[in-house]
A = this chain, B = another copy of it.
């Protein structure tokens, strides 16, 4: 069998672990040939690829990033993109394509699958927003990095009697904010799913100081938004960047809370560090299992599906289902936490 693998979309710790696992399972155990397309779908559309043997994946299990490169190119955005992908797959004699990617990639995968491409998807997202799997690799690492930063920030906030507003990733969902906030004992957590009331945030923080505490940590997802018309400082007005639309919420909150509370408030924006570097053991195991099961699915001819974690099992789920709805944080998780405002 000839298997093509590619990584597409934003960076995510564990991509290399999937690639390695696909190669190990396919080449060693099945005697397959594996090729890796460069820079996501772009490599498939431009027939830009290389052979992946055992040596090619030596030492990459714990390495962040992706040895294949990535891009945000999607076949459907290009004229004849789908047709070209199909024809290249045929020309190259590829029997199965394993795209590893997030929501956009899986949507493209579905489109190509509907068009006849033999596809086995592998979901990746640090945001944990793909609905049909309990979790994907990358999320645990992102939460770990954010939690470690929060652990560090707590001591400095305490010694210097500050409010720290820590912005973590999550444009549409608050999973990283929720888990890192819970893990680090944040005093307020703000998520995109629930527009926050700045007055409530100020009250919550204020109560801590009234009770004699000397600091507060607010974790805010980059996509969290205030209820309309409640903030004095408008988001977006201070940043010359067009492309980083959400980078402002922590700064906005810091200004607003300083004003309301008369306490030093400082924004900390964790940024890209959350999606780079060595994956946690959890993510390496999950990524390895996904890669293994993707190869097995390909050998069974089980196409049009993607790998998913359900409990402790890896199962196959239709791509159509996978991209249907975003997995948002359910309301009962807010209750458990007690500090999602």
Q: A residues bordering B, Cβ < 8 Å?
A: 7, 10-11, 15, 20, 24-25, 28-29, 61-66, 69-70, 134-135, 140, 143-147, 149, 151-161, 164, 179-180, 182-185, 214, 233, 237-241, 251, 255, 266-273, 275-278, 280-282, 284-285, 288-289, 292-293, 310-312, 336, 338
The A interface, classified by DSSP as helix, strand, loop or mixed, is helix
Q: Which of A140, A145, A156, A284 has the most CB of B within 10 A?
A: A156
Contacts A65-B155, A65-B156, A65-B159 given: A182-B277 contact, CB under 8 Å?
A: no
Which residues in B have their C-beta under 8 angstroms from that of A20? 185
- Measured between beta carbons, the chain B residues less than 8 angstroms from A61 are 183-185
CB distance from A310 to the nearest CB of B (A): 6
Residue of B nearest to A164 (CB): B272
Q: Which residues of B contact A251 (CB under 8 A)?
A: 240-241
- 16 pairs from A and B in contact (CB 8 Å cutoff): A62-B183, A64-B154, A65-B156, A69-B159, A69-B214, A70-B159, A134-B312, A145-B152, A147-B281, A151-B278, A152-B277, A156-B276, A156-B277, A240-B255, A266-B272, A268-B272
Q: Which one of B25, B180, B270 contacts A338 once the chains associate, using CB atoms below 8 Å?
A: B25
Contacts A140-B282, A285-B183; A134 near B240 (Cβ below 8 A): no
List residues of chain B with CB within 8 A of the CB of A145.
152
In the complex, A1→B146 CA distance in Å?
36
A204 CB, min distance to chain B CBs, angstroms? 13
CA distance A201 to B297 in the complex (A): 30
**CB–CB A276/B153 < 8 A:** yes
* Residue from the set A64, A180, A251 with the largest chain B CB neighbour count within 10 Å: A64
Closest B residue to A244 by beta carbon equals B266
A177 smallest CB distance to B (angstroms): 12
Q: Which residue of B lies closest to A29 (CB)?
A: B338
CA distance A158 to B255 in the complex (A): 35
Residue from B15, B184, B273, B311 within 8 A of A62 (CB atoms): B184
A155: shortest Cβ distance to chain B, in Å? 3
A160–B70 touching, CB < 8 Å = yes
By a CB distance below 8 angstroms, the chain B residues around A160 are 10-11, 65, 69-70
Q: Given A156-B276, A160-B11, A277-B151 in contact, is the A284-B25 Cβ separation under 8 Å?
A: no
Q: Are B153 and A281 in contact (CB under 8 A)?
A: no
Please, which residues of chain B bring their CB within 8 A of the CB of A276? 152-157
Contact, CB under 8 Å: A285 / B182: yes
Determine how close the nearest CB of chain B comes to the CB of A287; give it in whole angstroms: 10
Interface centre among A66, A159, A182, A310, by most chain B C-beta atoms within 10 angstroms, is A159
